[in-house]
């Protein structure tokens, strides 16, 4: 087997709309429905400008027992963060300020890299990498 990259990240949320809006506003992703799961649960695909699925959001419906052992916002065991290759550092910082979202910048000039660390509405740590 040869792996060439990550296909998508799955995030369980108890507030689908708020989470989708976060990724739309911050990262410019587009929300589309997920017909594959529409009959069993509610969710959405967050897609990039090329239509590629980047993030799969799944709503934790309180009326069903599905995902009862998982709680959005609680520690996710060994998963510490998800990293994304990004462009538009200055625009991202401005967008975070506009949204009132706390963030931390890490400059690594010896690698030609600037990083922004932010947390989504479900306590998922995001690493946004901007290469020079």
CATH number of 9-63+80-131: 3.10.180.10
Which pTM value belongs to this model?
0.83
pLDDT at 29: 97
User: Beta strands of 25-124 (E only): which ranges?
Assistant: 30-33, 43-47, 53-59, 82-86, 103-108, 113-119
Q: Which residue has the higher pLDDT, 3 or 127?
A: 127
pLDDT at 86: 94
pLDDT at 38: 55
How confident is the model over 62-71, as a mean pLDDT? 78
What are 74-111's pLDDT values in tens digits?
766 557 789 999 999 999 999 999 999 999 999 999 99
- Domain locations along the chain: 9-63+80-131
């Amino acid at each position: 087997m040869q792996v060439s990259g990550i296909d998508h990240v799955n995030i369980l949320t108890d507030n689908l709309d708020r989470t989708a809006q976060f990724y739309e506003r911050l990262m410019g992703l587009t929300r589309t429905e997920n017909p594959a799961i529409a009959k069993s649960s509610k969710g959405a695909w967050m897609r990039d400008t090329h239509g590629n699925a980047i993030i799969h959001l799944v709503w934790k419906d309180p009326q069903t027992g599905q995902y009862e052992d998982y709680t959005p916002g609680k520690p996710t065991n060994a998963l510490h963060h998800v990293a994304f290759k990004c462009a538009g550092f200055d625009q991202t910082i401005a967008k975070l300020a506009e949204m009132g979202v706390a963030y931390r910048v890490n400059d690594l000039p010896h690698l030609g890299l600037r990083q922004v660390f932010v947390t989504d509405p479900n306590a998922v740590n995001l690493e946004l990498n901007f290469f020079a």
